[in-house]
Structure 1
Amino acid sequence: MTNRARLDAAARRRASPAVVFGGTRLVVEDIVGLAQRTRTARLSTDPAWQDRIRRGVDALHAHLAAGHPVYGVTTGYGDACVVDVPMALIEALPAQLTRYHGCGMGEWLDDEAVRAVLACRLASLAQGYSAVRPELLASLVHLLDHDILPRIPAEGSVGASGDLTPLSYVAATLIGEREVKYDDRLCLASDALAATGGTPIMLAPKEGLALMNGTAVMTALASLAFARSRSLARLASRLTALTTIALDGRAAHFHPTLFDAKPHEGQRDAARWIREDLSGSAEPPEARLQDRYSLRCAPHVVGVLVDALSWVRRDVENEINSANDNPLIDPETGEVHHGGNFYGGHIAFAMDSLKTAVANIADLMDRQLALLVDEKFNNGLPRNLSGATGPRAPINHGFKAVQIGASAWAAEALKHTMPASVFSRSTESHNQDKVSMGTIAARDCLRVLMLTEQVAAAHTLAVAQAVALRERMSPETSRLPGALRHWLDAVATRSPFVEEDRALEHELRAVRTWLADGGDLPHDE
């Protein structure tokens, strides 16, 4: 990114309302805004909230002064909770936790995901139950402000006791250890902190555990998955409308009476979006009485995703706004509560369910694409949607390979719908003997989304080609609604009509990125 682009982006962030941590309920869009660097983070200035944070720390110190045992403060971790830690070693214990958990593997989380992780951990600690100092909260804000991104391996969490291993990379950054990404390069955490006016902190009793023993990674990934899934539902509806036009299908399948008779709200929404896109299009005079299921039942498929998103939002936002480490310190009463709020079961189930609903969208689009390219079912369109005419027509194969690729991506998306949450393992000397696998479920969901967006890119290029071919075949009856015409024009700027076969990989990638960013689609709030 150029200096000019950085300055412009920073100005836009300053002009947007800050995400305030402390005393206010956050929504998915707050996490996504911080992840995408369109929002800034700040701590609440409310004296009541600031006092709550200080009282939690004071309550912990009072327990220690009284000689009361506190898990992870005066004891070892996990199964070692029966091991007493001498007072002389209590201050060394938090950093020790960060170090032995530095064993993650796999790909690194991308920049958006890391920012979302920082935001979700900050949101949890700001609830005031974790007995962390204001300085630690300010240090997390510093990472977000200066875009100092811990290098977090994606693999190594079983989702209870939270995301211990990946979150150890956040804790390590705060104490100036391990590598981070800063200013588009890798460097030592201590160097990035020094370059931005920050300093490593020494973790106080319980602060290592508070940073690491929670659901921030799975919740961050779930927030990003939710945002991408919402635009996908609208996209599948638009592609259904365009496929209906390209195949000379029947708009009557989306009549409101049908969806009043089966009143799932998401199904109604999907049908309405399709009707709005088809408004003004001509009904073919000799259309089939009933189109095939991938058209006729499209609202019923998309509607499942739309309705699922309502409760997925509820559960993800409850997790964002939860205190999910252990133990919790009640700042009002001073009581210490040992429990299991680090268990990520709600996120695990939400992501297992969401990835299934999303994969069904991939399957739907793949079926519609298969109809478009097959001359036995596409109502007169050229075989494989080839745009070639004249003597070179026999050697052109149009979208044959694109359809094969889309089928492969859809199949892989469907394969990933195996629920992760049922694969609990007994770990850590049978202390963590029932775990959520929420982070694996969230990673699976993002993979399913990527594959589904690839299918969507293939479908988008193919349906744009199909509509153009239909209009070329019947220019006298062509009547494309304005919203669809405008959208297809936007597609054409990224991938023009395929007259002669060409490699489409780069165009597919560009369209996938555009679609994942919203694809210029309308959206309902």
Structure 2
Amino acid sequence: MVIWNSNMTENIRDSICFGAGRLTIEDVTDIAGGASVRLNDTAEFTSKIQRGTAFLERLLEDEGVIYGVTTGYGDSCTVAIPTELVDELPLHLTRFHGCGLGDNLDHQQARAVLATRLCSLSQGVSGVSLELLQQIVTLINHDIAPRIPQEGSVGASGDLTPLSYLAASLIGEREVIYKGEIKPTADVYSQLGISPIKLKPKEGLALMNGTSVMTALACLAFKRAEYLAQISTRITAMVSVAMQGNDFHFDKALFAVKPHPGQQQIASWLRDDLQANRPPRNSDRLQDRYSLRCAPHVIGTLQDSLPWLRQLIENELNSANDNPIIDGDNECVLHGGHFYGGHIALAMDTLKTVIANIADLLDRQMAQLMDYKFNNGLPFNLTGSTGSRKPINHGFKAVQIGISAWTAEALKHTMPASVFSRSTECHNQDKVSMGTIASRDCLRVLELTEQVASASLLAATQAIELRKRQGELEQDQISPALQAMVKSVRKDFEVVNEDRPLEQELRLFVGKIQQQNWKMYN
């Protein structure tokens, strides 16, 4: 779970406008963190929305055949819906999809889902009313989030089952998250004087037939990954100092000959962090092991992937991704498969792999740092104990085991979800994206890697303090950036001299990383 703090929301605008232009990943994460929203109030936007609904109403009056409006859904598209039952069909769609299981999305994730669905419907080609769009705005601005179980979507026809919980909340059914509690939607509406809406014939399908859950989670994952590239670079610099590593491995001229811009950025950040008069090395090793020497190449794959991952995610965010598309301007109904979440599946399968590689990198750095055979004179397991009590103290021994376990689990989750397409729904949905599973996997890999980073940050801080204690590192031999980082960590972390449980400190620093507590690089 990510909890946004003031550092993350300091630039949030008073209100984010829908229907006036493209939204960004940052817009979604700002809304997840508490930003308010509004609809574009221009006549142009209002008219576009109204033309779509008016066109649908005329088709119904003329007894036109419209998928999901006058027909059943999916493989049932050959079933004609009697005119007198058309109005009830969207309600049945929301209800029979109320079968999600697993843990619920947290409050901020559910707010992000509201934002991504509102963005898609605000494209003006889904045949929904202004009243429906405004109801989503009302939920966001009253900080009411639908309770959405995580499991039950195959990612095409979009996120049908999880989005049914959003649809249900708009009509006053099921449950919502409000003021930190799960409550019946009807009770919250009554308390706040909110009226449930009645879904028009196309609106159940428009709400549910799309990629908004996977896209919301992808937006949140992207921002965490973006920060993880920075914190893992900072930790690597700290480990290099503690290990008495070679800073020439990050030389500007060296990286000029391999021009991956993200990789060059990581090397540049490392150079900045290592700008100090380094102490004499206690090693004749000309080349550090790969987990230090190749850190820009590992973290750089994440950094270089971010621009094109952003493109994939933001294009999906700003798309109309339901079916059919209702073109009110040209008065036609376009049947297709825009609910297919393949681009988000690709983005999340890719991102979780590069993130897991960060966990593996830090795991290897920690294995070196705590092993007296490789750490250039640091104590066994980074224990701070000395003298007669040293034999019974074990420092970071168990933490290193934990790092190994979290890394292994992260690596295990890198199997691409998108290759597990399953034919479903009477073989109508015979090729599906699994994009939502990929997004959930990615968030789990991020959580595990943030745990590795938390432990690595504490271990690197401990190692630097031990170097100082041993008289092998002076304060002026550490760059100002690393001095500030160590000082900040030490506010909540005492050097481990006598063994103590470290769980609460590890959890605290996982939270700080998820909150993006430290401003890293410009």
CA contact (8 A) 1:90 1:205 kept: yes
What is the aligned counterpart of 1:510 among 505, 508, 511?
A: 508
CA contact (8 A) 1:162 1:342 kept: yes
SS in 1 for 2:87: coil
SS in 2 for 1:154: strand
Q: Give the 3 Å change call, closer, same or farther, for CA 82–490 of structure 1 in structure 2.
A: same
The count of residues paired between Structure 1 and Structure 2 equals: 514
SS in 1 for 2:150: strand
1:424 matches 2:421: yes
What is the aligned counterpart of 1:465 among 457, 462, 466?
A: 462
Partners in 2 of 1:419 and 1:170 — Cα distance? 28
1:72 aligns with 68
Greater alpha carbon shift after TM alignment, 464-473 vs 183-192:
183-192
Following TM superposition, by how much is the alpha carbon of 1:110 offset from its aligned partner in structure 2, in angstroms?
Answer: 0.7
CA contact (8 A) 1:73 1:205 kept: yes
2:26 aligns with 29
2:354 aligns with 357
Q: Which amino acid aligns with 2:349?
A: D
What is the aligned counterpart of 2:43 among 39, 43, 47?
A: 47
The runs of 5 or more residues in structure 1 that have no matched partner are 1-7
Partners in 1 of 2:195 and 2:247 — Cα distance? 63
Q: Which amino acid aligns with 2:134?
A: A
Following TM superposition, by how much is the alpha carbon of 1:286 offset from its aligned partner in structure 2, in angstroms?
Answer: 5.6
1:487 aligns with 485
CA shift digits 1:60-96 (9 cap, x unpaired): 1122122210000000011000000011000000010
CA shift digits 1:453-507 (9 cap, x unpaired): 0000110010000010111112565511111111111111222211111000000
1:115 aligns with 111
TM-score calculated relative to the size of structure 1: 0.96
Partners in 2 of 1:281 and 1:16 — Cα distance? 43
Following TM superposition, by how much is the alpha carbon of 1:285 offset from its aligned partner in structure 2, in angstroms?
Answer: 4.7
Partners in 2 of 1:427 and 1:116 — Cα distance? 28
1:332 matches 2:329: yes
1:282 matches 2:278: yes
TM-score calculated relative to the size of structure 2: 0.96
What is the aligned counterpart of 1:301 among 287, 293, 298?
A: 298
1:258-269, aligned counterparts within 5 Å? 258-269=254-265
Q: Which has the higher contact order (CA 8 A, sep 6+)?
A: 2
1:123-272, aligned counterparts within 5 Å? 123-272=119-268
Partners in 1 of 2:118 and 2:319 — Cα distance? 11
SS in 2 for 1:403: helix
Q: Which amino acid aligns with 2:291?
A: S
1:390-405, aligned counterparts within 5 Å? 390-405=387-402
SS in 2 for 1:186: strand
2:96 aligns with 100
Q: Give the 3 Å change call, closer, same or farther, for CA 380–475 of structure 1 in structure 2.
A: closer
Q: Which amino acid aligns with 1:385?
A: L
CA contact (8 A) 2:232 2:358 kept: yes
CA shift digits 1:194-234 (9 cap, x unpaired): 22221111100110000000000000000000000000001
Q: Which amino acid aligns with 1:367?
A: R
1:409 aligns with 406
Q: Which amino acid aligns with 1:157?
A: S
Q: Which amino acid aligns with 1:112?
A: Q
Partners in 2 of 1:334 and 1:284 — Cα distance? 76
1:380 matches 2:377: yes
SS in 1 for 2:494: coil
Partners in 1 of 2:355 and 2:36 — Cα distance? 30
Q: Give the 3 Å change call, closer, same or farther, for CA 13–454 of structure 1 in structure 2.
A: closer
SS in 2 for 1:158: coil
What is the aligned counterpart of 1:63 among 59, 66, 69?
A: 59
Partners in 2 of 1:140 and 1:377 — Cα distance? 57
Greater alpha carbon shift after TM alignment, 40-49 vs 422-431:
40-49
Q: Give the 3 Å change call, closer, same or farther, for CA 177–475 of structure 1 in structure 2.
A: same
What root-mean-square deviation, in Å, do the aligned CA atoms of Structure 1 and Structure 2 show? 1.5
Q: Which amino acid aligns with 1:152?
A: I
SS in 2 for 1:421: helix
CA contact (8 A) 2:349 2:438 kept: yes
Partners in 2 of 1:352 and 1:14 — Cα distance? 30
Q: Give the 3 Å change call, closer, same or farther, for CA 254–212 of structure 1 in structure 2.
A: same
CA contact (8 A) 1:13 1:40 kept: no
CA contact (8 A) 2:244 2:281 kept: no
Partners in 2 of 1:108 and 1:517 — Cα distance? 21
Q: Which amino acid aligns with 1:437?
A: M
SS in 2 for 1:248: coil
SS in 1 for 2:70: coil
